Amino acid sequence: MQTLLIPLNKTIIKDIVPDSAGVFYLHGASIFPIMKVGMAHDGNLRERLLEEYDEFERSEVTHFSFMICSSDREAILIAEREIELYEPRYNSEQSPRKKRQSLLTMLTRVTETRPLQVSDIYS
């Protein structure tokens, strides 16, 4: 999978980012390091990125990328895995245990047909 870095710009976000579940990545001038991993577990990736734009507009975050997910559950699980893998600077305010607890809380709010399995989180 190739990643396209897109300049962090409000107009671009409004034009190309869909209103769907997904995961986003905030970058500096290059693909690595990833500065933050976030998700839109409420099905509105565009709104989440616009919120992040307001927070990071004047920082070293210059680009973003995103992945569309088929469900809120998928977005939550991918974001958790990516945060553990890349340990982004702006996700570090939470301890791994606290992150896991907050993500599990979000997962319980997501309505899915299949119950959550431990292997969904620790695979």
pLDDT digits (tens, 9 = 90+) for 19-42: 999 999 999 977 778 999 999 977
Which whole-number Å values give the CA distances from 99 to 22, 38, 78, 95, 121, in the listed order?
Answer: 18, 12, 13, 6, 12
CA 110 to chain centre: 16
pLDDT at residue 123 is higher than 80: no
The confidence score (pLDDT) of residue 46 equals 96
Domain 6-115: state its class.
alpha beta
User: What six digits make up the tokens of 50?
Assistant: 């616009």
CA atoms within 13 A on the CB side of 43: 4
The confidence score (pLDDT) of residue 113 equals 52
Q: What does DSSP assign to residue 102?
A: H
Cα(93)–Cα(98) distance, rounded to whole angstroms? 10
For the beta carbon of residue 32, count every other beta carbon within 10 angstroms. Answer: 9
Question: What confidence tens digit (pLDDT) does each residue in 52-105 have?
Answer: 999 887 788 999 999 999 999 999 999 999 999 999 999 976 545 555 666 666
Q: What does DSSP assign to residue 38?
A: E
